[in-house]
Amino acid sequence: WGSNSFECHSSGLLPMVVEDGETAGVTFTRGKSSLEGLDHDATLWHGRESASMLVHRHAMETERAKVSKGFEGQGVLQGVVFPCMGNILGVILFLRLPWIVGKAGVLETFSLVLVCCSCTFITSLSLSAVATNGKILGGGCYFLISRSLGPALGSGVGLCFYMANSIGAAMYFMGTVEAWEVAQPDLQILGAGNLNNVRVTSLLILALALVLVGGGIKHVARLGTVFLFIVLGVILCMYVGCFVGPWSGDGTYTSSVATEEGTELLTLNWTGPSLEVFKENLGPAYDMPQKAYPSDTKEYGFISLMGLWFPAVTGIMAGSNRSADLKDPAADIPRGTICAQVVTSFLYLSFVLIFGLVAPRQTLLDDRFFAASSAWPCKQVVQYGVMFSAIGAGLTSLVSGTRLLSAIAGDKTLPILQIFAAPPGTEPRLALLASGVLCACAIAIGELNAVAPVLTMFFLMCYTCVNLSCTILEAVHDPSWRPKFKYHHWSISLIGAILCIWMMFAMSTLMAMCAICFCAVIFAYAAYNSHSVKWGDGFQGMKFQLARNILTHMDLTAHTKNWRPQLLVITGASIFEQTTTHEEKLCVHDPDLLSLASQLKGGRGITILGGICSSKGVSVFSDGGMFICQEQRQKVLDGQDSMKRLLQQYHIEGFGRMVYTEDYADGLMCLVQISGLGAFQPNCVLAAWPKDVQKLDKHGSETRSHLIRMIQVAVVFQKVVLIAKGISWPDFEQRLHSHIDIWWIVGDGGILLLLPFLLAKHSVWHGCRLRLFVLADKVGDDPEMMMEELQNYVSDFRLNIEVHVKVIDPDVYDTSPALAAGSHTLADTNTIEQDEIDLEVANERPLRTVSQESVDEVPPWRTTSNLSSNLGRWRRQLSGSITGSRSSEGLQGASRAFRSSPPGTIGSVPEGPAAGLDSLSFSPQGADARRNLGFLHENAMTDPGPSGAKPEQNSKAFMYNEKQLTSDSPCSPDELMLARGLNSIIMEESSKADLVVMNLPDMPPGESAFGYCQLIEEMTKGLSRSMLVRGTAKEVITAFT
Going by C-beta distance under 8 Å and a sequence separation of 6 or more, which residues neighbour residue 105?
281, 282, 283, 284, 285, 356
Prior bond to 377 cis, omega within 30? Answer: yes
* Residue 869 binned pLDDT confidence (cut-offs 50, 70, 90): low
Nearest to 263 by CA among 364, 181, 378: 181
Mean pLDDT calculated for residue range 236-243: 87
Nearest to 755 by CA among 791, 731, 709, 723: 723
Give me the amino acid identity at 678.
G
Q: Is the dihedral of CA 534, 536, 542, 545 positive or negative?
A: positive
* Residue 345 binned pLDDT confidence (cut-offs 50, 70, 90): very high
- The rounded distance, in Å, linking the Cα atoms of 246 and 242 is 9
pLDDT at 775 over 50: yes
Q: Is 621 helix (H, G, I), strand (E, B) or coil?
A: coil
Q: b/e for 484-502, b at 16 or more Cβ within 10 A?
A: ebeebebebbbbbbebbbe
pLDDT tens per residue, range 274-303: 899 999 999 999 989 888 887 778 889 999
Window from 311-315, 328-332, 751-755 with minimum mean pLDDT: 328-332
Mean pLDDT calculated for residue range 821-835: 34
217: Cα separation from own chain's centroid: 39
Mean pLDDT calculated for residue range 976-1003: 90
Mean pLDDT calculated for residue range 905-922: 34
Phi-psi group of 351: left, alpha or beta (phi > 0 → left; psi -120 to 50 → alpha; rest → beta): alpha
Beta-strand relationship, 802-808 and 769-777? parallel
pLDDT tens per residue, range 176-201: 998 888 888 878 888 777 788 889 99
- The rounded distance, in Å, linking the Cα atoms of 270 and 374 is 9
The per-residue pLDDT for 147 is 75
- For residues 268 and 368, the answer to whether their CB atoms sit within 8 Å is no
**DSSP assignments along 398-416, one per residue:** HHHHHHHHHHHHHHTSSGG
pTM, full prediction: 0.63
Window from 640-654, 705-719, 935-949 with minimum mean pLDDT: 935-949
pLDDT tens per residue, range 448-475: 888 888 888 988 988 998 898 888 888 8
pLDDT at 379 over 80: yes
Give me the amino acid identity at 65.
A
Phi-psi group of 948: left, alpha or beta (phi > 0 → left; psi -120 to 50 → alpha; rest → beta): left
Beta-strand relationship, 1025-1030 and 567-575? unpaired
Task: Tell me whether residue 118 is exposed, middle or buried, using C-beta atoms within 10 angstroms of its C-beta: 0 to 12, 13 to 18, 19 or more.
Answer: middle
* Residue 140 binned pLDDT confidence (cut-offs 50, 70, 90): low
The per-residue pLDDT for 221 is 62
Q: Which residue has the higher pLDDT, 967 or 931?
A: 967
The per-residue pLDDT for 202 is 92
* Residue 856 binned pLDDT confidence (cut-offs 50, 70, 90): very low
- The rounded distance, in Å, linking the Cα atoms of 736 and 729 is 11
- For residues 805 and 794, the answer to whether their CB atoms sit within 8 Å is no
Mean pLDDT calculated for residue range 852-869: 40
* Residue 576 binned pLDDT confidence (cut-offs 50, 70, 90): low
Percent of the chain with pLDDT over 70: 73
- Number of other CB atoms surrounding residue 775 within 10 Å: 24
Nearest to 601 by CA among 647, 533, 541: 647
The per-residue pLDDT for 357 is 92
The per-residue pLDDT for 854 is 32
* Residue 39 binned pLDDT confidence (cut-offs 50, 70, 90): low
Q: Write down the mean pLDDT value for the chain.
A: 75
The per-residue pLDDT for 539 is 66
The per-residue pLDDT for 504 is 92
- For residues 264 and 254, the answer to whether their CB atoms sit within 8 Å is no
pLDDT at 103 over 90: yes
Mean pLDDT calculated for residue range 886-910: 33
